[in-house]
Amino acid sequence: MKPAPAPVTLSRMKAICQEKYGVPRLEDVAEPQPGRGEVRVRVRAASVNARDWHVMRGDPYLGRLLLPAVMGPRGPRRRIRGTDFAGTVESAGAGVDRFRPGDEVYGDLGDAHGAFAEYVCAPADQIEFKPAGLGWEQAAALPLAGGTALLGLRGRVRAGRSVLINGASGGVGTFAVQIGKALGGSVTAVCSTRNVDLVRSLGADEVVDYTRSDFARLGRRFDVVFDLVGNRSLGDLRRTVAPGGTLVLSGGGTSRGRPRVFGPMRLILGARLAARSSRSGPRIEVPATAPSRELLAELRELAEAGRLRPVIDRTYQLAEVPEAIRYVEEEHARAKVVITV
């Protein structure tokens, strides 16, 4: 009788996990192994995005019905939190020939999540070579927020067109200011007093301090209005768009620790209904952000050309992810918050 084969012992790693909605915690879990078409990456840094606290809390409740790939009735569909990252390739699965061990890459896991960990396995078509000249933290800050900004403005902003960015000092907003300028637009940025100098340093042509002025009552209109906050009515936003212009909506809002029924989806759903029922007024668009190597390559080119500079507000260690997410959700973090691993 042959002896039973020795059990396979999988290596372990640290990761931020949760089974139910609430505060995640640092756990010891098995390291992931790359499947076909995947690349295993040693994570050096990851960044915190608004979607992390939305998923962590199951906020809004409507998302648990409309986003079944991400949110379940009682907890997130994926155990490990985190979306975008930067790190070093350790190995590649079958069918991957573009990346080799030692390559420095960055990427966006999309609905799969899993970036708040020491290792991650990502589809090869959702990672790209890290922009030359960017550190790990800067590269990790770029994929989701930079991609959202690029998709929101590309094809809508060009030379001679005016764009207003509501929420210009946030993670997406700081990239949107720079991309708006890179596309040739005249950028008006809306932010608070403490962030005026920051957004000006990123290239904004004009800054509206919302503690002193209401951009919706300035009597001005813009070719593109990019709303990243979700704190204004649809009517207010539409009145700021010039004839033939476009209103672009992308998330926003905070739960302050208590999930809401609709959250930012109220504005987005209302806008979609208005766009279908009205034959007048501005175009209203809600771009879908899907991770792709092509999008990452565009961001890399902008960064390497010196036209896109990630700004880091704070950095935290892996074990401090719950505090980092709390800071992004509740304390009006400016620019990006990054996790070093």
Q: Residue 169: which domain range? A: 145-285
| pLDDT for res 278 | 60
| pLDDT for res 64 | 80
| pLDDT for res 196 | 97
The answer on 136 and 57 residing in a single domain is yes
| pLDDT for res 66 | 75
pLDDT tens-digit profile of 3-48? 655 555 579 999 999 999 999 999 999 999 999 999 999 999 999 9
The answer on 123 and 48 residing in a single domain is yes
Q: Is residue 1 part of a domain?
A: no
**307 three-class SS:** coil
| pLDDT for res 231 | 84
Predicted confidence (pLDDT) at residue 264 exceeds the cutoff of 80: no
Place of tokens 């994929």: 143
| pLDDT for res 30 | 96
pTM of the model: 0.90
Angstrom distance (rounded) from CA 312 to CA 270:
34
Q: Please indicate whether residue 301 or residue 284 has the higher confidence score (pLDDT).
A: 301
- Region 193-200: what's the mean pLDDT? 97
- Region 315-338: what's the mean pLDDT? 93
Predicted confidence (pLDDT) at residue 259 exceeds the cutoff of 60: no
Domain count for the chain, please give it: 2
The answer on 163 and 272 residing in a single domain is yes
- Region 181-208: what's the mean pLDDT? 97
The answer on 164 and 257 residing in a single domain is yes
The answer on 180 and 103 residing in a single domain is no
In the predicted model, what is the mean pLDDT of the chain? 90
24: preceding bond cis by omega (within 30 degrees): no
| pLDDT for res 213 | 95
Q: In what order do the strands lie in the sheet with 186-191?
A: 206-209, 186-191, 162-166, 222-227, 241-249, 283-285
Domain CATH number, residue 213: 3.40.50.720
Predicted confidence (pLDDT) at residue 265 exceeds the cutoff of 80: no
| pLDDT for res 7 | 53
Token pair for residue 230? 């979700």
Rounded percentage of the chain residues whose pLDDT exceeds 70: 88
Using alpha carbons only, give the angle 287, 176, 259 rounded to the nearest 5 degrees.
60
pLDDT tens-digit profile of 216-242? 999 999 999 999 998 888 889 999 999
| pLDDT for res 128 | 98
The answer on 116 and 39 residing in a single domain is yes
Min mean pLDDT across 60-74, 91-105, 302-316 is at 60-74
Predicted confidence (pLDDT) at residue 261 exceeds the cutoff of 60: no
Predicted confidence (pLDDT) at residue 129 exceeds the cutoff of 60: yes
The answer on 164 and 134 residing in a single domain is no
Q: Is residue 299 part of a domain?
A: no
- Region 125-152: what's the mean pLDDT? 97
Pairing of the two strands 312-317 and 222-227: unpaired
Q: Is residue 183 part of a domain?
A: yes
Amino acid at 30: A
| pLDDT for res 58 | 85
pLDDT category of residue 65 using cuts at 50, 70 and 90:
confident
- Region 320-339: what's the mean pLDDT? 92
The answer on 132 and 227 residing in a single domain is no
Domain CATH number, residue 101: 3.90.180.10
pLDDT category of residue 282 using cuts at 50, 70 and 90:
confident
| pLDDT for res 240 | 96
| pLDDT for res 222 | 98
- Region 73-94: what's the mean pLDDT? 95
The answer on 135 and 88 residing in a single domain is yes
The answer on 318 and 226 residing in a single domain is no
Q: Is residue 297 part of a domain?
A: no
Other residues' Cβ atoms within 10 Å of the Cβ of residue 216: 20
Q: Please indicate whether residue 305 or residue 59 has the higher confidence score (pLDDT).
A: 305
